[in-house]
Amino acid sequence: MIKYRIICPLNDNLTTFRVKCTEDDKLYIKKILDRPQFEIYKIIQEKDYDGVPKIKELFYSPENDKYILYEECVPGYTIDELFKKGTQFSKKFVIKMATALCNILKPIHNDNLIHRDISPNNVMYSQIEDKFYLIDFGNSRLNKINTPKDTVFAGTPIFMAPEQGGVGTQSDNRTDIYAIGMLMKFMLTKNTTDKKSKIRGRLGKIIKKCTQSEIASRYKNVDKLKFKLSMIKVDDFLFPFKIYLYILIGVIFILPTIITVFFDLNNMIHMYTDIRRYNLVNPIQESTGYVRSNREQEHICDLIADRNIDGARKILDSHTEKSSTDIVLYSQIYEIEGDYDKAATVILDYLKDNDSGTAVRMYDRLKHLKPHCSSDISNQITPYEN
């Protein structure tokens, strides 16, 4: 009985197939390996890395003189397949993918193994599991410490680091970091060759460091890269928080100031209206014979409206003779200062010595002040209400 039935080939050279197991009725990937690949997959089978397809069978077939691999068929799509479907990759998704690759590669790199072909075709995303997988270790090898440079070119050209083409030193774990950077750039810009297609912000700086030509200029290991990626996540989380914090600070410190200014302005408008209502800007002939000029009265009223009490009082005090207009202005000043008794008393004292027909507005003012005065002063105002 045939254990695996071939469903379809997955590459042109007929070394990779999608097959179905007749025993458990599940899909698997069959690969025909050479000896070096077989040795790499033996390590993968032994270590059973998370994020790498599980190996069902790995053996040498004497009949065909071939090394055979059967591994699980991941339920998902490669990044390349998603791209061809028209998927728009967000920065959040790209960061999530790169972080997942760092997690997958950490134990692999610790075992001195380099993938050397991280590309859109070899990274899969399972939407069902919400999980990324790193597949196809056909170009992988162990890190050769004593070898000055790579002698066999391997990998997907656009995503290959310079050292994979024999430039500079040999490949190591930073070669995979280069490929992760190129993959992120591809997903965000759909272009890996155009130098003008830059990614702004911290992620752009991370990608730039990942894809440095000099291997020593890249991140030392995937832990360093993962940490930098995690900081972007923190910033993304903190950004709206910072906005809310600034708004809160504004509400606490700025809003009260705005309210105060508004009420001050409102009070000044009412005050100025009140001054005009009592005819304080019109020159009136007083019994003393003293008349303040129209311009001077206007100036005093403006000073009071602007809460420049000292300036207004200075002008009023400059003349020993006081008109009824001056008295009402003094009363207005005392009211602003919150001394309602004094505001009423200055008018009452004036009326005791000057009872003229021009005092009508003073009577009105006393009525206005009475509710705010002490009982003693209120009793003195009562005779003037009739």
- What is the model's pLDDT at position 290? 53
| Res. 280: pLDDT tops 50 | no
Least confident of 18-22, 52-56, 172-176, 310-314: 310-314
Is the same domain home to 231 and 349? no
Residue predicted with more confidence, 89 or 13: 89
Distances (CA, A) of 119 to 74, 78, 92, 182: 17, 9, 19, 8
Residues 92 and 215 in one domain: yes
pLDDT at 267 (0 to 100): 63
Residue with the two structure tokens 């999530």: 96
68 and 143 fall within a common domain: no
The C-alpha torsion from 160 through 164 and 168 to 171, rounded to 10°, is 110
Q: Are residues 283 and 366 in the same domain?
A: yes
The CATH number of the domain holding residue 37 is 3.30.200.20
- The answer to whether the beta carbons of residues 10 and 17 sit under 8 Å apart is yes
**Is the per-residue pLDDT at 275 higher than 90?**
no
Is there a domain that residue 51 lies in?
Answer: yes
In this structure, the number of other CB atoms found within 10 A of the CB of residue 50 comes to 12
What pLDDT does 71 receive?
97
pLDDT of residue 386: 65
Query: Which of the listed ranges 36-45, 163-172, 237-246, 288-297 does the model predict with the highest average pLDDT?
Result: 36-45
Token reading at 277: 């209502």
Q: Among residues of the chain, what percentage have pLDDT more than 90? A: 51
Residues 291 and 226 in one domain: no
Residue 259 lies in a domain: no
Q: What is the pLDDT of residue 252?
A: 82
More confident residue, 191 or 28: 28
Q: What is the pLDDT of residue 287?
A: 40
Q: Quick one: pLDDT at residue 270?
A: 58
* pLDDT value at 284 more than 50: no
In this prediction, what percent of the chain has a pLDDT beyond 70? 83
Same domain, 83 and 217: yes
**CATH code, domain with 145:** 1.10.510.10
**312 or 265: which carries more pLDDT confidence?**
312
Same domain, 303 and 331: yes
33 contacts: CB under 8 Å, gap ≥ 6: 41, 66, 67, 68, 69, 138
Statement to judge: residues 58 and 84 lie in one domain: no
Alpha-carbon span 319 to 290, nearest angstrom: 10
Q: Quote the tokens at residue 72.
A: 């699980």
Give the model's pLDDT for residue 366. 86
For residues 179 and 199, state if they share a domain. yes
The 8 Å CB, 24+ separation contacts for 225-232 are: 225/98, 225/102, 225/177, 225/180, 226/99, 226/102, 226/103, 228/202, 229/95, 229/98, 229/99, 229/102, 230/99, 231/202, 232/91, 232/95, 232/201, 232/202, 232/203, 232/206
Q: Are residues 213 and 349 in the same domain?
A: no
Q: How many domains does the chain have?
A: 3
Residue 265 resides in a domain: no
**Number of other CB atoms surrounding residue 230 within 10 Å:** 13
Both 129 and 210 in a single domain? Answer: yes
Provide the pLDDT for residue 278: 45
Q: Is residue 282 part of a domain?
A: yes
User: Do 199 and 317 reside in the same domain of the chain?
Assistant: no
Give the range of the structural domain holding residue 340, as residue numbers without chain letter. Answer: 278-385
Greater confidence (355 vs 74) lies with: 74
Top-confidence residue, 22 or 305: 22
